[in-house]
Amino acid sequence: MQPGAIAAAPRMSGLFEDDEKLPAPEPEGPGLFGDAPAAAPVAVPEVVQSTPYRVLARKYRPVTFADMIGQETMVRTLRNAFAVGRVAHAFMLTGVRGVGKTTTARIIARALNCVGADGQGGPTVDACGVCANCVAILADRHPDVVEMDAASNNGIDEIREIIESVRFRPMQARTKVFILDEVHMLSRSAFNALLKTLEEPPPHVKFIFATTEIRKVPVTVLSRCQRFDLRRISAAEMAGHFAGIAMKENVRIEPEALTLIARAADGSARDGLSLLDQAIAQAEPGQMISAVEVADMLGLSDRIAVFDLFAAVMGGKPAEALVITDRAHERGADLGVLLQDLLELLHTVTRLKTVPALRESGDLPEAERLRGGEFAERTSMAHLGRAWQMLLKGISEVESAPDRRAAAEMVLIRLCYVADLPPPGDLVRRLTEQGVTAGAPQAAPPPSGGGVRAVANGAPRTAIAAQPMAAPAGPRLAGFREVAALASERREALLHGHLVHSVHLVRFAPPVIELRPQADAPRDLAAKLAAMLLDATGTRWTIALSTATGEPTLAEQGVAADGARRIAAAAHPLVQAILDAFPGARIDSVHDARTDAYGLITDAPALGGEPEGPEFAPVDADYADGPSDHWDD
């Protein structure tokens, strides 16, 4: 061994032959230089990286126009526009939620910027999907395709940013595309700021707007856009589309279940795919999804309760109706929502009543077509109309009531008792038949010429009569003053005022009244008076307008009667003695308990007779408490 060399310690075999297989001992205390001991390595189990699940609404979102369903008119128009190079600079897409407005906007953006697999292609509606622009737009990360939610970015500052960026050319794509979703949420100032740019945008810029509330978009914006109305997707088209998706997902589902989902989607593909996703999730893997399970998932089992409630209400059975509402309340249902479902069913039944061909339509569920058709046959249109009005009013009452359940039950009880009432037409016919049977006097048929006849100089000039109609017996009118008083009782203030001040009675011979109107009387006075009398008395009256002089107006008669009472009072010896004893005293007014509201005595003599004055006590009469006639001075 050379000096200074350190001999290696011989390996002790035998004692620790398996020492490499043993775990290293954990160090105790600090290390050689005072640092903390190193941590022993920990075995980390291998983590399996799985792809996150994508809901069906995103997984099967259309990427080309060929994938879209139910929008053939719009697709055809856009195909022709791209083919001839007549692509508008701004598009307005409108429709209900989930029909494909934003999807269409993204497809248009790819069609404008696709360059093909070889990088040499131009704008085309059949985008390749593999070029850099198509891939970036599909991934929502293209710098030249700006998608903005106008519901949360609706101020003028956001629109100014768009206007500022319009001036610059695209960085990568051929065309810079701005997609504004829910554009109706923009403020008015934001709309105004966008108008000029929208009218004359640079050739490298396109605007695509989407909205569910087209009426809230200013017409100045609409006039600068090419508008496309995306229609609701029919239930049949949607059910076929869902069947194809179920096959791709290896899901077994009954066709009736797909039909239920398609109808519940109400024309929205996105809503339908969400419901299909839910139906697949609730079933066991590999198990057939039945229509019964889907009906339970959609809450259609409660639809049977709505039909039963409709039958109970329209049949006038309040006890059965309350039993149904009790069961619904026990299940946690909101009775206000139950009334809304009843209103919807009422509308469906009314449509089936009006258009019987709908009973063969595939757009309506089987329950509506079968049971709804039976209800339509048994229920009259008048009954359906009354129930509609009462339900509309009842739903508003439930919303404002402190106890929603009690208010809803009261609405249903009212509906049940209204079901027992005959329609207005039947009531009129019954009253007419009763009047004929009882020998009630029938009104004469209206004269030729639509109930109008003429008089002059005492003969009738114009007569306006109400249509013949039987009604319950009303008050008996002994004179024209009773007619005016009746107008006052029925709160016909304007008519009452004209009867008192603007007409002269020529002849009162029920059911005929001849009047001479003054120049300030309205032209429809006779018609309004005839209608009021018919409604109040149940008898058809003929109001003849004449040129004869007739009596003074009721107001003039009242002034004359008041003057006569003043003269009679002033001539009484006792009044004269009082006036002589109190110089300056005067008769202010004379009150007579026998006079009516017009200042005329109830049993006044005919016109031309001596007017009656107040009944004065004799001069030598004793004083009495509470005289019926008194004077104010």
Q: What is the pLDDT of residues 359-389, one digit of tens each?
A: 777 667 777 778 888 888 888 888 888 899 9
Among 503, 533, 551, give the residue marking a domain's end. Answer: 551
163 belongs to a structural domain: yes
| Confidence at residue 1, expressed as pLDDT on a 0 to 100 scale | 43
Report d(CA 415, CA 313) in Å as an integer: 6
83 and 193 belong to one structural domain: yes
401 belongs to a structural domain: yes
141 and 266 belong to one structural domain: no
Decide if pLDDT at 522 tops 90. Answer: no
- Residue 485's pLDDT band, with cuts at 50, 70 and 90, is confident
Choice among 217-231, 288-302, 406-420 with the minimum mean pLDDT: 288-302
Report d(CA 346, CA 340) in Å as an integer: 10
291 and 330 belong to one structural domain: no
Decide if pLDDT at 474 tops 60. Answer: no
- Residue identified by tokens 């996105």 is 270
174 belongs to a structural domain: yes
Would you state the structure tokens that stand for residue 87, as one six-digit string? 């692509």
Would you state the structure tokens that stand for residue 524, as one six-digit string? 């429809």
Average pLDDT over residues 42-70: 76
Burial class (CB in 10 A: 0-12, 13-18, 19+), 401: middle
Decide if pLDDT at 259 tops 60. Answer: yes
Residue 271 belongs to a domain with what CATH number?
1.10.8.60
45 belongs to a structural domain: no
| Confidence at residue 7, expressed as pLDDT on a 0 to 100 scale | 43
Percent of the chain with pLDDT over 70: 77
Query: Would you give the distance in Å from CA 172 to the centre of its chain?
Result: 48
Decide if pLDDT at 334 tops 60. Answer: yes
User: Crossing angle for the helix pair 404-418 and 301-314, nearest 10 degrees?
Assistant: 50
219 and 101 belong to one structural domain: yes
Q: Which amino acid is at 574?
A: L
Question: How many domains in the chain?
Answer: 5
Among 229, 255, 270, give the residue marking a domain's end. Answer: 229
17 belongs to a structural domain: no
Report d(CA 352, CA 375) in Å as an integer: 9
395 and 323 belong to one structural domain: yes
Average pLDDT over residues 272-286: 88
Report d(CA 537, CA 542) in Å as an integer: 13
- Do the strands 589-591 and 630-632 form a parallel or antiparallel pair, or are they unpaired? antiparallel
- Residue 468's pLDDT band, with cuts at 50, 70 and 90, is very low
Closest CA to 208 of 234, 237, 228, 238: 228
Report d(CA 30, CA 382) in Å as an integer: 97
Phi-psi region of 605 (alpha: psi -120 to 50; beta: other; left: phi over 0): beta
3-class SS shares of the chain: helix, strand, coil, % to 5 = 45, 10, 45
List all residues 6 or more positions away from 567 whose beta carbon is below 8 Å from its beta carbon: 613
494 and 578 belong to one structural domain: no
List all residues 6 or more positions away from 384 whose beta carbon is below 8 Å from its beta carbon: 346, 349, 350, 353
Burial class (CB in 10 A: 0-12, 13-18, 19+), 281: exposed
352 and 397 belong to one structural domain: yes
Report d(CA 219, CA 190) in Å as an integer: 14
Percent of the chain with pLDDT over 90: 24
Report d(CA 94, CA 211) in Å as an integer: 5
* Distances in whole angstroms, Cα of residue 334 to Cα of each of 309, 328, 405, 411, 413: 14, 8, 8, 14, 17
Q: What is the pLDDT of residues 398-433, one digit of tens each?
A: 988 899 999 999 999 999 888 766 666 666 666 666
* Distances in whole angstroms, Cα of residue 288 to Cα of each of 53, 272, 295: 22, 19, 14
Among 418, 440, 471, give the residue marking a domain's end. Answer: 418
Report d(CA 101, CA 109) in Å as an integer: 13
Choice among 116-125, 267-276, 469-478, 511-520 with the minimum mean pLDDT: 469-478
Decide if pLDDT at 244 tops 60. Answer: yes
Decide if pLDDT at 19 tops 60. Answer: no
102 and 165 belong to one structural domain: yes
571 and 608 belong to one structural domain: yes
The dihedral built from the CA positions of residue 33, 39, 40 and 44, taken in this order, carries a sign that is: negative
Closest CA to 134 of 110, 102, 109: 110
96 belongs to a structural domain: yes
Residue 479: what are its φ and ψ, rounded to 5°?
A: -160, 175
113 and 256 belong to one structural domain: no
Domain span at 79: 56-229
Decide if pLDDT at 608 tops 70. Answer: no
Element (H, E) at 208: strand 205-211
Phi-psi region of 363 (alpha: psi -120 to 50; beta: other; left: phi over 0): alpha
67 and 133 belong to one structural domain: yes
132 belongs to a structural domain: yes
456 belongs to a structural domain: no
Residue 79 belongs to a domain with what CATH number?
3.40.50.300
Q: What is the pLDDT of residues 20-36, one digit of tens each?
A: 444 555 555 555 445 55
392 and 289 belong to one structural domain: no
Q: With contact defined as beta carbons under 8 Å apart, do 326 and 307 qualify? A: no
C-alpha distance across the termini of the chain, in Å: 159
Choice among 65-79, 108-122, 403-417, 447-461 with the minimum mean pLDDT: 447-461
What beta strand segments (E) does 152-204 contain?
A: 176-181
